[in-house]
Amino acid sequence: MRGEFVRHGLLIFGSTTFVNLLNAVFYFVIARRISVSDYGALTALTAGMVVISLPAVIAALVIARYAAEFHALEEYGKLRSLLEQTSVAAFGLGVVIFLLVWMLHVPIESFLRFNNTPCVLIAACALGLGLVTPALRAVLQGVQEFRGFAISIICEGAAKVGGGVLLAQHFGVTGAMSGFAIGGLIGIGAALVSANPLFGYGRSAFHLDPRRLAQTMAGVGLSGLCLTALLSVDVLLVKHYFEPRQAGIYGLVSQIGKVLVFVAAFIPTLLLPKATAAVATGKSPRAVLFQAAAASLSLTVVALCMLFFFSRFIVQFIGGPNFARAAPYFFPYGVAMAVLAGTQLAVTYKIALHRFHFVFPLVAAVILEVAGIVFMHETLWRVIAIVILGNVASFLAVTVRFSPRELRAEFVRSQEVAASPR
**Is pLDDT at 409 greater than 60 in this prediction?**
no
CA distances from 27 to 20, 33, 94, 154 (A): 11, 10, 26, 17
Cα–Cα distance measured from residue 327 to residue 243, given in angstroms and rounded to the nearest whole number: 19
Give the mean model confidence (pLDDT) for residues 182-198: 88
The three-state secondary structure class of 12 is: helix
**Rg of the chain, C-alpha, whole Å:** 21
Determine the pLDDT at residue 407: 52
Cα–Cα distance measured from residue 64 to residue 51, given in angstroms and rounded to the nearest whole number: 20
Rounded to an integer, what is the distance from CA 11 to the centroid of its chain? 18
Determine the pLDDT at residue 87: 83
**Is pLDDT at 74 greater than 80 in this prediction?**
no
The residue type found at 172 is G
Task: Convert the pLDDT of each residue in 293-351 to its tens digit.
Answer: 888 898 889 988 988 888 888 787 777 777 878 888 889 999 999 999 999 999 989 88
**Is pLDDT at 415 greater than 60 in this prediction?**
no
CB 126 within 8 A of CB 52: no
Cα–Cα distance measured from residue 46 to residue 99, given in angstroms and rounded to the nearest whole number: 18
List, as one string, the DSSP characters of 41-82: HHHHHHHHHHHHTHHHHHHHHHHHHHHHHHHHTT-HHHHHHH
Angle at 414 (CA atoms; ends 408, 13), nearest 5 degrees: 90
Give the mean model confidence (pLDDT) for residues 134-156: 89
CB 146 within 8 A of CB 140: yes
| Dihedral (Cα; 213, 222, 300, 5), 10-degree rounding | 0
Give the mean model confidence (pLDDT) for residues 271-296: 83
Return the higher-pLDDT residue of 155 and 85. Answer: 155
pLDDT band for 401, please (50, 70, 90 cuts): low
Give the mean model confidence (pLDDT) for residues 217-221: 83
**Is pLDDT at 370 greater than 90 in this prediction?**
yes
Domain count, the chain: 1
pLDDT band for 60, please (50, 70, 90 cuts): confident
| Among 364, 397, 369, residue whose Cα is nearest residue 383 | 369
**Is pLDDT at 388 greater than 90 in this prediction?**
yes
Domain of residue 229: give its range: 2-419
Angle at 206 (CA atoms; ends 200, 207), nearest 5 degrees: 175
Determine the pLDDT at residue 422: 45
| Among 164, 175, 157, residue whose Cα is nearest residue 119 | 175
